[in-house]
């Protein structure tokens, strides 16, 4: 469920140890719940001052962070973790500065708490308003990146929530130092250190205890690979928000401007292939396939992208079989996260919509077209968190969307869909003010 | 999980039959999903015409409905189901008319679909908007009342969703006729009959198949007793919305106007004791307990309410031990649903908040007070879907809150909290319109 560095000694824990771990997680959740009671009442000034002080402390104590991180990285190298994992794990002075800047950015965002979402006076004079309140206790389950520790703490604190962090064991030393710095700042501001807690990360059972702590934890948000996310979402009894899996498509319509389509395709695929908003499949309308496919294959290949084409793509691209790898059924559902793309020729816009409905993950889908009817049809019929017309899939992102920061991108339909910023970390409460109002019988 | 009329012959189903049932439920969900694609594109005029035609058909074909209902009621009597269950099951001409009126009310409500929730033009010129879209396929799991069948169909159709209904086996004949009438109207309007489907109700495994049909069903909403709700919420892998459990409190503050408090108490408890917004516990501040408690006990008793009092309530009420039943620990967490109330004297407002935090279900909590600081403190610190100041708990209700109708009252914090009307049956989708916008590297 997490990275491959799980300690085998603790997964062999005896039942008594298992019970201890459960109690330890639940106890952390109970302390977080008490802390959340205090956090819910903080005004914006207090929260922003806290975040700025945390940013200062991270920078001041950067050498402690880097020393701990060095040990994590050395252990990861020794355990021969993949280079990509190590890359995500490594902190540098720049990365620490950028975590601190992230906190300052969140401090600069409007406080969602207390916002009146709806309100009116009922015919009987009862004054009614629905206001934003914190969720309470947020559980985060994530993988190697230590910056998630700080990002999640900043967003949850600003939205008045306490947070339980369950990071990867490979980042344990880094995360421990980061959380202890944040806890010191909380204490210095007269706030409970239990507002931000790191859970034990050597036994995957701690994830299980966190995601089943109904009544103690209000929501869990998994952040990481598809395996982690679906394991959490399927096993959680605490409400969970599904994030991130992005099998995104670009559909090049019969009426697309082909230069525009090419530019969108390259940006959607190759800008940052490892992120969830990168395109993984391109669907080309048959009417323009003869002209577009050869250009597309050439441009993609010169950007280092391997094209996994269906029979029609291979036939058209022509320049030689070596240009296009034959696509497999599995490719259509694969989130490559790499410089690979699946490609098909489709007979119509409805066929493209059908393909996307079958294989898409409901993250981001884009169309290139100059035809307003095609744009309207595509955006109405495609069921995804974000549908983009003549724009790169790379735009689905909290900061691009003007949210300032995001805790993840929800691909589910309940509560939040798409990039999740501060308002998505809140719930609401109805408040009614009367003068002794009673409800008539009936 | 449902009523006690489960057929023993089908719960003894062989594995092959079990597999069949699973396939049957999943197949219904797949057909619902296709229907949902059509429903999502309907405009308000079409949906309202559909609901009015459904209302007409229910009234016209009332005798068919009542004939089927007679058979359900006769079977329930023969099975010696409790009178309260039979009461909920019985339909009359008036109740059929009122179901039809319910559909017309929903037709009169604004269409939530297409509403632009947020929108702006990004600095780079990309036009961004977040619009309301249907959830897709909604699963309803409920108990004996056949009117839920029609209410749920009306609300889900108006919000552009398809619905899978899993009612009680005791109402099977009534529900079958109701759904076939609705299906006839759907067909007559050129819409897929699979938009509203009744699932097999004789085997509780059909609930299990429904609530674990991830990817086929977008949300399940249980409606009924606490046992049903928690079973669904705990076993569902499809996102579920927890509804209804209401252990509601009225806190009578030191600065309450005692006549007002008495009026609120009687209305909160005795107006309709069986509904989820009825008060189940009254907490009285010690400073006014000497005056208030004897009055309260007298008035409650003359309204037929049994008071389960703590030691201090019993001591103060004085008129005789027979006036007050000793409260047990269990009473504090009990949703009586009857003319019973638990009562305690508390030392302070924070103690009342603490008691509510420990035993409340996060549904509705009320305070009677003339002190603005107490009102502010109570409404800020109590964590519930609705907090009422000087108003009866009976107001927490979709139609009272001006939503026109409700599909349930959510007691969870994600997605929807409090009465759920049409907007709560929707999700959102981000739409972005560009002119070939690509995202710069970085």
Query: Distance from A78 to chain B by nearest Cα, in Å?
Result: 31
Q: Is B429 on the interface with A (CB under 8 A)?
A: yes
Q: How many residues does chain A have?
A: 442
Strands A426-437 and A127-134: antiparallel
Query: Distance from B312 to chain A by nearest Cα, in Å?
Result: 26
Question: Which pLDDT score is estimated for B319?
Answer: 56
Residue B204 and residue B231 in one domain: yes
Structure tokens at B234: 């705990």
Rg of chain A over all Cα atoms, to the nearest angstrom: 24
Residue B266 and residue B324 in one domain: yes
Question: Which pLDDT score is estimated for B375?
Answer: 97
B214: β partners: B217
- Most confident option among A177-191, A323-337, A409-423, B314-328: A177-191
Q: Pick B171 or A227 by higher pLDDT.
A: B171
CATH no. for residue B390? Answer: 3.40.309.10
Nearest CA in chain A to B385: A429
Nearest CA in chain B to A431: B387
Question: Which pLDDT score is estimated for A84?
Answer: 83
Residue B130 makes CB contacts below 8 A (sequence gap 6+) with A418, B116, B117, B118, B119, B428, B429, B430, B431
Q: How far apart are CA B105 and CA B336, in angstroms?
A: 31
Question: Which pLDDT score is estimated for B428?
Answer: 97
Q: Is the pLDDT of residue A332 over 70?
A: yes
Domain count, chain B: 2
pLDDT category of residue A346 using cuts at 50, 70 and 90: very high
pLDDT category of residue B115 using cuts at 50, 70 and 90: very high
Residue B253 and residue B360 in one domain: yes
pLDDT digits (tens, 9 = 90+) for B225-237: 878 888 898 889 8
CB A413 within 8 A of CB B219: yes
Residue A16 makes CB contacts below 8 A (sequence gap 6+) with none
**A contacts of B434 (beta carbons < 8 Å):** 388-391, 395
Give CA torsion, residues B142, B147, B150, B152, to 10 deg.
-40
Q: Is the pLDDT of residue B12 over 80?
A: no
Q: Where are the beta strands (DSSP E) in B149-278?
A: 162-166, 196-198, 219-223, 248-252
Residue A207 and residue A289 in one domain: no
Q: Is A256 on the interface with B (CB under 8 A)?
A: no
Question: Which pLDDT score is estimated for A11?
Answer: 42
Mean pLDDT throughout A261-288? 96
Q: How many helices (H) and strands (E) does chain A have?
A: 15, 16
What's chain B's average pLDDT?
Answer: 92
Domain boundary among A184, A210, A235: A235
Q: Which long-range contacts (CB under 8 A, 24 or more apart) does A12-16 make?
A: A13/A203, A13/A205
From the list A366, A418, A422, the residue with the least C-alpha distance to A392 is A366
Instruction: Identify the DSSP state of B395.
Output: G
Residue A436 covered by a domain: no
Residue A230 and residue A294 in one domain: no
Q: Is the pLDDT of residue A12 over 80?
A: no
Residue that has been written with the tokens 């240009």 in this structure: A323
Residue B141 and residue B274 in one domain: no
Residue B216 and residue B100 in one domain: yes
Domain boundary among A235, A266, A287: A235
Question: Which pLDDT score is estimated for A208?
Answer: 95
CB A279 within 8 A of CB A397: no
Where is B436: in which H helix or E strand? strand B426-437
% of chain A beyond a pLDDT of 90 = 83
Mean pLDDT throughout B356-366? 96
Residue B98 covered by a domain: yes
Range with the poorest average pLDDT among A25-39, B80-94, B362-376: B80-94
Mean pLDDT throughout A8-32? 76
What is the domain extent for residue A138? 16-235
**A contacts of B362 (beta carbons < 8 Å):** none
CATH no. for residue A21? Answer: 3.40.605.10
Structure tokens at B15: 């594995």
From the list B160, B62, B162, B63, the residue with the least C-alpha distance to B106 is B160
Question: Which pLDDT score is estimated for A405?
Answer: 80
Residue B175 and residue B131 in one domain: yes
Question: Which pLDDT score is estimated for A319?
Answer: 56
**B contacts of A260 (beta carbons < 8 Å):** 435-436
pLDDT digits (tens, 9 = 90+) for A248-267: 999 999 999 999 999 999 99
Question: Which pLDDT score is estimated for B327?
Answer: 96
Question: Which pLDDT score is estimated for A8?
Answer: 35
Q: Is the pLDDT of residue B2 over 70?
A: no
Question: Which pLDDT score is estimated for B7?
Answer: 35
Q: Is the pLDDT of residue B261 over 80?
A: yes
Question: Which pLDDT score is estimated for B8?
Answer: 35
Residue B145 makes CB contacts below 8 A (sequence gap 6+) with B88, B89, B171
Secondary structure in 3-state letters for A362-417: CCEEEEECCCHHHHHHHHHHCCCCEEEEEECHHHCCCCCCCCCCCCEEECCCCCCC
A78: β partners: none
Question: Which pLDDT score is estimated for B231?
Answer: 87
Domain boundary among B172, B206, B235: B235
Question: Which pLDDT score is estimated for A7?
Answer: 35
- Complex-level ipTM beyond the 0.85 threshold: yes
Q: Where are the beta strands (DSSP E) in A253-405?
A: 279-285, 306-309, 324-326, 340-346, 364-368, 386-391
Q: How far apart are CA A303 and CA A266, in angstroms?
A: 8
A436 φ/ψ sector (left φ>0, alpha ψ -120 to 50, else beta): left
Give CA torsion, residues B321, B323, B325, B327, to 10 deg.
-90
Q: Is B399 on the interface with A (CB under 8 A)?
A: no
A389: β partners: A367, B433
From the list B417, B377, B372, the residue with the least C-alpha distance to A37 is B377
Residue B430 covered by a domain: no
Where is B23: in which H helix or E strand? helix B15-39
Residue B417 covered by a domain: no
What's chain A's average pLDDT?
Answer: 92
Indicate yes or no: CB of A388 within 8 angstroms of CB of B239: no
Query: Distance from A402 to chain B by nearest Cα, in Å?
Result: 7
Residue A273 covered by a domain: yes
Q: Where are the alpha helices (DSSP H) in B220-337?
A: 226-235, 258-270, 286-302, 311-317, 329-332
Residue numbers of B between 197 and 236 with CB closer than 8 Å to A = 214, 218-219, 233-234
Residue A412 covered by a domain: no
Q: Pick B196 or B244 by higher pLDDT.
A: B196
CB B237 within 8 A of CB B214: yes
Residue A23 covered by a domain: yes
Q: Is the pLDDT of residue B3 over 50?
A: no
> DSSP labels for A194-210?
GGEEEPP-SSTHHHHHH
Residue A252 and residue A231 in one domain: no
Mean pLDDT throughout A274-285? 95
Q: Is the pLDDT of residue A379 over 70?
A: yes
Nearest CA in chain B to A240: B239
Indicate yes or no: CB of B427 within 8 angstroms of CB of A441: no
Residue B114 covered by a domain: yes
Residue B70 and residue B190 in one domain: yes
pLDDT digits (tens, 9 = 90+) for A188-210: 999 999 999 999 998 889 999 99
CB A21 within 8 A of CB A13: yes
Q: Is the pLDDT of residue B330 over 70?
A: yes
User: Within 13 A of A98's CA, how many CA atoms are on the CB side?
Assistant: 9
Best residue in A395, A417, A424 for a mutation probing chain B (most B CBs within 10 Å): A395
A77: β partners: none
pLDDT digits (tens, 9 = 90+) for B150-193: 999 999 999 999 999 999 999 999 999 999 999 999 999 999 99
Residue B210 and residue B309 in one domain: no
Structure tokens at B315: 């001591």
Residue A296 and residue A182 in one domain: no
């Amino acid at each position: 469920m997490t990275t491959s560095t799980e300690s085998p000694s603790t997964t062999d824990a005896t039942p008594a140890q298992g019970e201890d771990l459960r109690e330890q997680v639940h106890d952390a959740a109970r302390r977080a719940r008490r802390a959340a009671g205090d956090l819910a009442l903080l005004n914006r000034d207090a929260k922003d001052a806290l975040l700025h002080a945390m940013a200062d402390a991270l920078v001041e104590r950067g050498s402690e962070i880097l020393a701990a991180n060095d040990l994590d990285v050395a252990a990861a190298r020794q355990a021969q973790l993949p280079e990509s994992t190590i890359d995500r794990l490594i902190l540098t002075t720049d990365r620490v500065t950028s975590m601190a800047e992230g906190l300052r950015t969140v401090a600069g965002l409007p406080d969602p708490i207390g916002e009146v979402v709806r309100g009116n006076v009922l015919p009987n004079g009862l004054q009614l308003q629905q206001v934003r309140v914190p969720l309470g206790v947020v559980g985060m389950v994530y993988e190697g990146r230590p910056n998630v520790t700080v990002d999640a703490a900043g967003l949850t604190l600003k939205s008045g929530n306490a947070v339980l962090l369950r990071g990867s064991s490979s980042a344990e030393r880094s995360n421990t130092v980061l959380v202890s710095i944040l806890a010191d700042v909380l204490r210095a501001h007269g706030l409970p250190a239990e507002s931000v807690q790191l859970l034990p990360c050597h036994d995957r059972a701690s994830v299980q205890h966190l995601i089943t702590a109904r009544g103690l934890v209000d929501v869990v948000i998994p952040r990481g690979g598809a395996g982690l996310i679906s394991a959490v979402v399927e096993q959680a009894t605490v409400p969970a928000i599904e994030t991130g899996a992005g099998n995104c498509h670009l559909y090049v319509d019969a009426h697309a401007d082909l230069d525009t389509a090419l530019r969108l395709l390259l940006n959607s695929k190759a800008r940052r292939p490892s992120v969830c908003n990168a395109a993984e499949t391109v669907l080309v309308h048959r009417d323009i396939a003869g002209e577009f496919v050869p250009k597309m294959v050439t441009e993609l290949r010169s950007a280092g992208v391997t094209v996994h084409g269906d029979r029609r793509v291979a036939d058209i691209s022509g320049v030689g079989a070596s240009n296009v790898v034959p696509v497999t059924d599995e490719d259509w559902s694969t989130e490559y996260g790499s410089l690979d793309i699946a490609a098909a020729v489709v007979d119509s816009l409805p066929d493209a919509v059908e393909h996307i409905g079958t294989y898409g993950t409901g993250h981001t889908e884009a169309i290139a077209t100059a035809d307003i009817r095609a744009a309207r049809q595509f955006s109405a019929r495609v069921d995804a968190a974000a549908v983009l017309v003549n724009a790169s899939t790379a735009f689905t992102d909290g900061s691009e969307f003007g949210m300032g920061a995001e805790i993840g991108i929800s691909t589910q339909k309940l509560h939040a869909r798409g990039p999740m910023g501060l308002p998505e970390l809140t719930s609401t409460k109805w408040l009614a003010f009367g003068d002794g109002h009673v409800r008539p019988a009936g």
